Structures are given as structure tokens and as C-alpha cells.
Amino acid sequence: MDFLTGTLDKLHVGVSEDGRSCMMMFVDDSKHTIHCVVDFAEFNSLVCRLNDAAGEMARRRTCDGDVEKDEQADPGPACGTLNVAFAEFQRSPGDQYIEGALIGDTGEIVGIRMCPEVACQLTKAMLLTAPAAASC
């Protein structure tokens, strides 16, 4: 297998109508293309790995003092927390588990898979913590 090297010029992403798969097309500066079709778990894994790599790049640049003042991003919430802007869940087709994702307000994605009992505990805890939306 020949490995071509180049600079990523474009990335096109499309989601299937049923939301079960995603097609990605990578185009380098020499117009070579790679097409991939992945399911949710594979796509989520890719996004997580890219996010980890971006964090490592930022860490290394900060350690080397290579980051300019305007490039320094707001650190956001404390490590381990996520400002959730969107969430979507569905029953797993293969078992009774609930699968989905939490999406942060800056685009982070966290995949979630939990048994129904944990989903009930989580829902109860959130309902008891949230202020009333309206009075009857």
C-alpha cells in the first residue's frame, strides 16, 4: 500500500437520513481523496481522538511558550465538566441499554451508554435538582 502525504485541504461530512451512519471525505492539497462511511460509535471515537490530539497540541505549545496571547482560549469549565447544549438518546437496537450523546456548547461530544436503571436515577436526580419551569 502506498501512503500519500499532504496537507488536509478540506473535510466534508454528511449524515445519513436515519442518523445511523456518517460519510466523510478528506481532500488533501494535491486533490487526493479518501472516503469513509462510519457508524455513530466510530465517528464519536474519531471526534474524541481529534479532540485529544488538539488538546495535546495546545498543551505542548503552551509548555513551549509558542502560543500567542490572542490564540489562548478561554479554559472553560473545570476538567471533567461539560456545559451541555444538546443531548439526544435512543434505545439500543441490540439490547435494553440507552445510547446517545451529550454535546457541549463548544462542540465537544461525549458518547453515553447506560442501563435503564441508571437512566432512571439520572432523570430523578436532574428533576429534583432543576428549578420548576412553571407553577400550576
Report the pLDDT value the prediction gives residue 40, as an integer from 0 to 100: 83
Is the domain of 59 the same as that of 96?
Answer: no
Tell me which of 21, 47, 70 is where a domain ends. Answer: 70
Q: What's the pLDDT at 42?
A: 83
Asked whether residue 10 carries a pLDDT value surpassing 60, the answer given is yes
**Digit-coded pLDDT (tens) for 44-80:** 888 888 888 888 888 888 876 655 554 555 554 445 6
Task: Measure the CA–CA gap between 124 and 46, rounded to whole angstroms.
Answer: 32
- The CATH number that applies at residue 33 is 3.10.450
Domain that holds residue 26: 7-70
Do 60 and 85 share a domain, yes or no?
Answer: no
Q: Are 83 and 105 in contact, with CB atoms under 8 Å apart?
A: yes
β-pairing verdict for 8-15 and 84-91: unpaired
- What is the pLDDT of the chain when averaged over all its residues? 78
Q: What is the mean pLDDT of residues 112-134?
A: 84
Instruction: Judge if 35 and 86 occupy the same domain.
Output: no
Residue 77: the pLDDT is 45
- pLDDT 10s digits, 81-110: 778 888 888 898 888 899 988 888 887 888
Mean pLDDT of 23-51: 83
Give 3-state DSSP helix, strand, coil % of the chain, rounded to 5. 30, 30, 40
| 35 shares its domain with 87 | no
pLDDT for position 80: 63
Integer Cα distance of 16 and 59 in angstroms: 35
Contact indicator for 106, 122 with CB cutoff of 8 Å: no
Report in angstroms the alpha-carbon separations of 32 from 3, 9, 10, 13, 68: 11, 10, 11, 16, 33
